[in-house]
Amino acid sequence: MSIHAAVRPFRAGQLWRADGWHADAAIAVGADGRLREPADRDGELIGNWVLPGMPNLHSHAFQRAMAGLAERKGRADDSFWSWRETMYAFAATVGPDELQAIAAQLYVEMLKAGYTHVCEFHYLHHQPDGVPYAQPEAMSLALVEAAREAGIGLTLLPVLYISGGFDGRALSARQRRFGHAVDAYLRLLETLRRQESDDVCVGIALHSLRAVPESALREVLGHPLAGTDPIHIHIAEQIGEVQDCLATRGARPVEWLFDHADVDARWCLVHATHLTAAETAQLARSGAVAGLCPTTEANLGDGLFPLADYLDAGGTLGIGSDSHISISPVEELRWLEYGQRLSTRHRNIAARHEGDSVGETLWRAALRGGAQASGQPVGELRDGVRADLVVLDDDSPLLAARDARSVLDSFLFAGNTPLVRDVMVGGRWQVRGFRHRDEERIAARYRGVVARLAGS
């Protein structure tokens, strides 16, 4: 991001900080795109309700272009595994140019929804036949360029993917473009680290225990390149995965991971849907993030995370849009709560103490966990943190007569009208008056790309 000319002061009628709303608050953006305090109280009034931007901790960008294309009944046991075959077929049509166009459109939509940083869990590395591109990092660079085009912060998580199952079978023909040997994966990491900036960082992703043998896991985690960066992994998403892990490794996935790796606050365990009580408590104690993607988990029929027990144990969580059948932190958090209500036949599950707000509890938790999983100084509005903020629409009827006690609950639970009016990332306005600064061009290119893919 370019260097700004000077410190710019702003005011907010109400500014959300970690401890709640602060009235008539002043903030300032420094020349480096980070927040500065104390701020000049004569700055521009930017809105009545100003929130930190939400980090999106789990994204497969290419899947945005196939959202809605897997909703026809197939075989009798339609499940994640049958959906995966549709996804593999679609992935085979996407190259670097297509990926950049799809990701840029996705990232514009994320910004307009209130996401200001995205963790891209990226496994579409090679050509469809598995042969590396002439520039082996071409697909990764397409994502970096898309994030820069759109103006969203990026944690790029190149994925290690070695085997096709817990039994160590070779990758199938459709999986070959995902695969790396450990040495090639480490070279990719080293190359991509040169792209790091204030807006882009590079972490590590292990696709899953079924795709990463124990020896490879140990080698990558023990390498100096692992450093202190975020580590993400899909885990315990499906009952079938749990059963296969038990059959081949003698332990459940989360149980096995904790027995074989030092899982701590660097880690994000994506989905972690099927946990025992002991695993739930262990994950909470570790300080790792449970990366929850409620709309995708519902779409795929995964199951429900044990939210109440996890919160009671002090666990950290964040949200992601994963397959992008929905691109809305509001909907992710709403359905995180609603799934629990349907399961327990009770209300206000996330609010664990009398008088607590469900909306505030969920927003605060997702900001904290998303920032931790991103490995970046985001998710708060305080001195030194990147200036990522969201301004809600003061004029919306949905917020009429709402005060600080009710506005976040209304934001999350009072309708589907978009309420994110303006969005700043790193001190730059990317969305003003509900419109992204470059959305027409990016959308036009996207429409051309998906039309071409449909024809192929």
Q: Which residues are catalytic?
A: 271, 322
For residue 76, the one-letter residue type is: A
Terminal-residue alpha carbon distance, the chain: 37
* d(C-alpha 362, C-alpha 351), whole Å: 8
Which helix (H) or strand (E) covers residue 52, if one does? strand 44-52
> 301: buried, middle or exposed (CB in 10 Å: 19+, 13-18, 0-12)?
exposed
Closest to 155 in 3D by CA, of 378, 423, 428: 378
Q: Angle CA(90)–CA(188)–CA(103) in degrees, nearest 5? A: 40
* d(C-alpha 26, C-alpha 95), whole Å: 45
Sign of CA dihedral 13, 361, 315, 352: positive
Can you list the pairs that 91-96 forms with residues at least 24 positions away whose Cβ atoms lie under 8 Å?
Answer: 91/62, 91/124, 91/128, 91/174, 91/177, 92/128, 92/174, 92/177, 93/128, 93/453, 93/456, 94/62, 94/65, 94/124, 94/453, 95/127, 95/139, 96/133, 96/138, 96/139, 96/141, 96/142
Q: Where are the alpha helices (DSSP H) in 38-168?
A: 80-91, 96-113, 138-150
* d(C-alpha 88, C-alpha 66), whole Å: 11
* d(C-alpha 373, C-alpha 383), whole Å: 20
Q: Where are the alpha helices (DSSP H) in 291-438?
A: 294-299, 307-312, 329-344, 358-374, 407-413
CA-to-CA separations, 345 to 80, 307, 338, 411, in angstroms, rounded: 26, 14, 10, 23
